Structures are given as structure tokens and as C-alpha cells.
């Protein structure tokens, strides 16, 4: 059995769950295993979980408190003994495993598990037959399937969960002006393009995209933290990533899962060119306005 933990925020299943389901379905079809998705929460919409063979739904209003999920998942794992448990590598996922042995920062798995460590400086390949994997956001395309699936409903009493933790307060982050992780086109601004952010924003507007940035630009306060791409920011998987004046440090590249990368940089040896489909060696302050003029015409 391959078990997928569905991350639920405000009653809605998050995108990373559907990303994990795509890979789980692929592996299960090859190994002839069952894909079981575990959902915890209250009044959750299950209709797009059709990639699952079965859904285990623990519905209780108290499960709005994520601190309880760890204890519920432990009981479910004991009850069903899945071979592999797949969880999103998020703050919720890290809290969920509660110090249990696992492999974090996984970006692919088949016969072996591929993960990254030390901020993307080390790539690891491990052999694993059973265990818990924490999957990086943006590693796979989301798979939403609207199909009727057998739902097994369990209660906290049936599972023997006796822990009673009071939820005192949820401190929500500031509302983001835009979610760059869902954009199909992202124009990335690095240190080399920090003087032409206004031009980059106009370029993004013409391309129906959004502006993202590397950490040095964010640290200077030139763009909000919600626009940061990379390990300490967001993972993006657009159809196109246009990297302007971005050198391509591993911390940044770790967050780029774009189908196509086009980079403009003065340094012909910039690491960003290693992941680029097309690269232009030159000054972004000269090239980008010319590109913008051509697009306008």
C-alpha cells in the first residue's frame, strides 16, 4: 500500500497533495499496489481525489487543529501498515512526522529515492523499500481526477485517539499580493536587474505573468517576501521562467522547477545557464528594454 497524507488548509486540499498523488499513482500502477489517501478535517471536499483507490476520511471538527494529526496518523499507520507514506515537505508535514525516521526533501522516487541536502549542494540517491518520504513542493504536476472513490470513514474514538490538545489561536501570515507558485510565467529579478524592477514588472504584465526575485533583491526590501524564489522562499513550476540578472546559486535553483528557463546574465559562467534552455550573455539593463519594445510591437 502507498499511503498519501492529504494536507488540508481551511477545508481545502492543498496543491501539494495532488502533486504527490500523480507520482503515487504512477508507482502503484507499476507495482500493482493500492493508493490510499488519508484525509483529516471537517467538511472537506474529496471530489478531486479520484487518483486514489481508496480514501480514509477521519472527520471531526477538532481536526482543524493540526497538532492532533500526528497522533491520528500514527494510529492509521499501525492499523494499515502501508509500505510507503508520502507527505508534503511543508511546515505541516515536518510537524506531522514528529521526529520519526524519514527522508526529507525528496524530489523523485522509483526504484530509488532522490533527495537533496545542505541547501541543494548535495544530491542523494537512496534505496528504500519501506518508510516515510517528505516530497518537495513542485516536484510533480498536480493530478486532479473527478471520480467516485470508496471512502472509509473513521472516528477518533474508533482509532483510539485520546490526546486532547486545545487549539488556542491560529496566527495567519500576511495576505500575499500574488502567489508566484501558481503562475504559468514568472519573470525573475536578481541582483543584476534590481535597477529595472519596473521594467521587469511591465514585461511580466505583457507576458501575463508575475515577477519573482532572488533572495538578495528581497533582503533589500525591493520586493515583498512572498515573491522570493528558492529554498527559503517558494518553489515555482511555471511553463516559463525568465531569469534576469540571476546568477543561479543552488539555494535559488532548488526552487525552480520550470519547464523552460531563459536566462540573461553578463557572466557567461553563471550557474543559471546550466538549467536554461536558452541563455543570453549580456547586460539585462540593455537587453530587457529591447525585448519589451519588441513585445509591445
* Domain carrying residue 140: 2-159
**Are 192 and 53 contained in the same domain?**
no
In a domain, 105, yes or no: yes
Max CA separation in the chain (angstroms):
67
Reported as a pLDDT band with limits 50, 70 and 90, residue 39 is very high
**Which CATH number goes with the domain that contains 84?**
3.40.50.620
How confident is the prediction for the chain on average, in pLDDT? 88
**Are 19 and 107 contained in the same domain?**
yes
**Are 223 and 97 contained in the same domain?**
no
Query: How much is the pLDDT for 122?
Result: 75
- Give the C-alpha distances (Å, rounded to integers) separating 228 from 215, 218, 257: 6, 7, 14
Reported as a pLDDT band with limits 50, 70 and 90, residue 281 is very high
The answer to whether the CB of 246 falls within 8 A of the CB of 222 is: no
In a domain, 219, yes or no: yes
Cell of 217: 533583491
More reliable by pLDDT, 41 or 167? 41
Reported as a pLDDT band with limits 50, 70 and 90, residue 120 is low
In a domain, 165, yes or no: no
Residue 173 is classified by DSSP as P
What is the side-by-side strand order in the sheet with 54-59?
A: 122-126, 113-117, 103-109, 131-135, 84-88, 2-6, 35-41, 54-59, 150-154
The H-or-E segment that residue 187 falls in is strand 185-189
With a cut of 60, say whether residue 172 has pLDDT above it: yes
- Coil, helix or strand for 55? strand
**Are 205 and 234 contained in the same domain?**
yes
Reported as a pLDDT band with limits 50, 70 and 90, residue 62 is confident
What's the domain count of the chain? 2
Reported as a pLDDT band with limits 50, 70 and 90, residue 176 is low
Least confident of 30-39, 81-90, 108-117, 174-183: 174-183
In a domain, 145, yes or no: yes
What residues have CB less than 8 Å from 203, skipping those under 6 apart?
187, 242, 288, 291, 292, 295
In a domain, 83, yes or no: yes
Query: How much is the pLDDT for 171?
Result: 67
With a cut of 90, say whether residue 263 has pLDDT above it: yes
With a cut of 60, say whether residue 162 has pLDDT above it: yes
**Which CATH number goes with the domain that contains 203?**
3.40.50.1220
**Are 119 and 244 contained in the same domain?**
no
More reliable by pLDDT, 219 or 1? 1
Span 271-279, average pLDDT: 93
Span 228-256, average pLDDT: 89
In a domain, 257, yes or no: yes
Q: How far apart are CA 127 and CA 111, in angstroms?
A: 7
- Name 256's bridge partners: 236
Count of alpha carbons within 13 angstroms of residue 258, beta-carbon side? 29
Max avg pLDDT among 15-29, 93-107, 123-137: 15-29
Reported as a pLDDT band with limits 50, 70 and 90, residue 90 is confident
Reported as a pLDDT band with limits 50, 70 and 90, residue 121 is low
Cα dihedral sign, 172-173-178-182: negative
**Are 39 and 145 contained in the same domain?**
yes
∠ CA 254-20-174, rounded to 5° = 60
Q: Which long-range contacts does 58-62 make (Cβ < 8 Å, 24+ apart)?
A: 58/153, 58/154, 58/155, 58/156, 58/159, 59/153, 59/155, 60/155, 60/156, 62/156
Reported as a pLDDT band with limits 50, 70 and 90, residue 187 is very high
Note the pTM of the prediction, 2 decimals.
0.69
- What phi, psi does 92 have (nearest 5°)? -65, -45
Q: How far apart are CA 292 and CA 199, in angstroms?
A: 8
Amino acid at each position: 500500500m502507498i499511503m498519501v497524507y492529504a494536507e488540508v488548509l481551511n477545508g481545502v486540499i492543498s496543491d501539494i497533495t495532488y502533486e504527490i498523488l500523480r507520482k503515487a499513482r504512477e508507482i502503484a500502477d507499476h507495482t500493482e499496489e493500492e493508493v490510499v489517501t488519508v484525509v483529516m478535517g471537517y467538511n472537506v471536499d474529496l471530489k478531486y481525489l479520484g487518483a486514489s483507490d481508496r480514501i480514509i476520511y477521519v472527520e471531526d471538527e477538532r481536526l482543524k487543529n493540526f497538532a492532533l494529526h500526528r497522533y491520528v496518523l500514527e494510529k492509521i499507520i499501525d492499523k494499515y501498515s502501508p509500505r510507503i507514506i508520502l507527505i508534503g515537505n511543508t511546515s505541516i508535514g515536518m510537524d506531522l512526522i514528529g521526529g520519526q525516521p524519514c527522508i526529507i526533501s525528496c524530489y523523485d522516487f522509483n526504484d530509488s529515492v532522490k533527495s537533496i541536502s545542505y541547501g541543494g549542494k548535495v544530491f542523494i540517491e537512496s534505496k528504500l523499500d519501506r518508510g516515510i518520504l517528505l516530497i518537495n513542493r513542485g516536484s510533480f504536476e498536480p493530478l486532479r481526477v473527478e471520480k467516485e472513490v470508496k471512502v472509509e470513514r473513521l472516528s477518533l474514538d474508533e482509532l483510539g485517539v485520546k490526546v486532547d490538545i486545545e487549539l488556542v489561536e491560529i496566527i495567519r501570515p500576511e495576505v500575499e499580493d500574488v502567489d508566484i507558485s501558481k503562475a504559468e510565467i514568472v519573470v525573475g529579478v536578481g541582483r543584476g536587474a534590481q535597477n529595472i524592477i519596473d521594467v521587469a514588472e511591465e514585461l511580466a504584465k505583457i507576458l501575463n505573468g508575475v515577477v519573482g526575485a532572488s533572495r538578495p533583491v528581497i533582503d533589500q526590501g525591493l520586493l515583498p517576501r512572498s515573491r522570493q524564489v528558492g529554498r527559503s522562499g517558494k518553489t515555482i513550476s511555471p511553463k516559463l521562467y525568465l531569469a534576469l540578472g540571476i546568477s543561479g546559486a543552488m539555494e535559488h535553483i532548488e526552487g525552480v522547477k520550470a519547464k523552460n528557463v531563459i536566462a540573461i546574465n553578463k557572466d557567461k559562467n553563471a550557474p543559471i545557464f546550466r538549467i536554461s534552455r536558452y541563455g543570453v550573455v549580456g547586460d539585462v539593463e540593455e537587453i530587457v528594454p529591447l525585448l519589451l519594445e519588441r513585445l509591445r510591437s
